[in-house]
């Protein structure tokens, strides 16, 4: 399961990330972490002060990876629309849900200022990056000037997170895909109108 070069500390963080995604904070017990990571209790407390400290490291790592993924996606494409499209249509484990988004529904995470902070920071970062891309599209005339970049960024994030919820509820990824396609259709630049030729005056013989 783990690469030979993965340190004990990294195995603990990786395992905790997976368990938080699957079970939430309450279900991620120290016993479950140690069993899946295949390490002893002494190893855990050598690197971390306890479950919350380890969970915080795991949540921070999840946020860092998501931010790096978003940066990579928003750096692709020649237009702002293509960048947004890359973000919305990227490969995801839709039925498993978003590892960050699911933490917002975990009451134990939300109740803790320390655990909630990296979640809030990650979501804010994603919205800021998307808003920058939309602003670029507005500035270049690709998107209409009536669009408010921060509002559109919030809409994109809401569409993604809502899509996860609908897909998990129905057990079908089509619910997510439909939301992404619908938003892209609304954002798609309108085609330029065809030039209208002036009517010719018939010549009188």
Residue 109 lies in domain: 61-187
Q: How far is CA 170 from the centre of its chain?
A: 20
* 195 in a structural domain: no
What's the maximum distance between 2 C-alpha atoms anywhere in the chain?
105
* 160 in a structural domain: yes
Q: What is the mean pLDDT of residues 68-78?
A: 93
Task: Give the model confidence (pLDDT) of 104-138 as tens digits.
Answer: 999 999 999 999 999 999 999 999 999 999 999 99
Task: Give the model confidence (pLDDT) of 153-188 as tens digits.
Answer: 999 999 999 999 999 999 999 999 999 999 999 999
* 169 in a structural domain: yes
Q: For position 135, which CATH number holds?
A: 1.10.357.10
* 205 in a structural domain: no
Task: Give the model confidence (pLDDT) of 16-44 as tens digits.
Answer: 999 999 999 999 999 999 999 999 888 89
* 171 in a structural domain: yes
Task: State the average pLDDT for the chain.
Answer: 90
134, 157 Cβ separation under 8 angstroms: no
Number of domains in the chain: 1
* Burial state string for 175-191 with b = 16 or more CB within 10 A and e = fewer than 16: bbeebbeebbeebeeee
Note the pLDDT of residue 86: 96
* 104 in a structural domain: yes
* 27 in a structural domain: no
Q: Where are the alpha helices (DSSP H) in the chain?
A: 8-27, 30-37, 41-47, 51-73, 80-88, 107-110, 113-139, 149-170, 174-187
* 145 in a structural domain: yes
């Amino acid at each position: 399961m783990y690469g030979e070069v993965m340190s004990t500390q990294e195995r603990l963080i990786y395992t905790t990330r997976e368990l938080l995604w699957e079970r939430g904070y309450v279900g991620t017990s120290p016993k479950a972490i140690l069993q899946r990571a295949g390490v002893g209790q002494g190893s855990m407390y050598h690197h971390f002060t306890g479950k919350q400290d380890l969970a915080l490291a795991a949540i921070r790592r999840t946020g860092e990876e998501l931010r790096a993924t978003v940066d990579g996606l928003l750096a692709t494409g020649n237009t702002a629309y293509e960048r947004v499209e890359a973000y919305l249509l990227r490969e995801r484990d839709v039925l498993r849900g978003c590892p960050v988004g699911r933490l917002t529904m975990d009451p134990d995470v939300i109740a803790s200022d320390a655990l909630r902070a990296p979640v809030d920071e990650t979501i804010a970062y994603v919205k800021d990056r998307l808003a920058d891309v939309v602003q670029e599209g507005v500035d270049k005339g690709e998107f209409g000037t009536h669009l408010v970049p921060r509002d559109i960024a919030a809409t994109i994030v809401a569409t993604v997170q809502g899509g996860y919820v609908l897909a998990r509820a129905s057990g079908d990824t089509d619910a997510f895909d439909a939301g992404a396609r619908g938003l892209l259709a609304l954002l798609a630049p309108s085609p330029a109108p065809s030039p209208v030729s002036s009517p010719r005056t018939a010549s009188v013989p």
